[in-house]
Amino acid sequence: MRHQLTLRLSDELAEKLELAAHRLRRKRSEVVRLALEQFLEDQTVARRPIERVRDLLGSVESGLPDMGTRHREYLVKRLRDGR
């Protein structure tokens, strides 16, 4: 690698980094590099809020085939029933 970066960390962040490096059995610099790569990749990809939860959509089964269109009715009924 041709570039070097020096930075200062709070005691708390340094301790978290040390623990992560130990748990992953990697050098601290490698953990920082991986985290920086992930952060920068997330910044370059246009991510709307929906993109953050897209993998969760449709992952819960309600057992009600018309829940999407009648959700308000089901919610009101449930509130009235006290459940």
Residue 68 lies in a domain: no
- d(CA 26, CA 16) in angstroms, rounded, equals 13
pLDDT digits (tens, 9 = 90+) for 5-49: 999 999 999 999 999 999 999 999 999 999 999 888 877 766 677
Model-level pTM greater than 0.85?
no
Between helix 28-44 and helix 11-24 the angle, nearest 10°, is 100
Q: What is the pLDDT of residue 46?
A: 64
Q: Are 18 and 28 in contact (CB under 8 A)?
A: yes
Residue numbers of the domain that contains 41: 1-56
Report the CATH number that the domain containing residue 43 is assigned in CATH. 1.10.1220
Residue 65 lies in a domain: no
pLDDT digits (tens, 9 = 90+) for 43-66: 776 667 777 777 777 666 777 788
Residue 75 lies in a domain: no
Q: What is the pLDDT of residue 35?
A: 95
Residue 82 lies in a domain: no
Residue 69 lies in a domain: no
- CA-angle at 44, arms to 42 and 46, nearest 5°: 85
Number of domains in the chain: 1
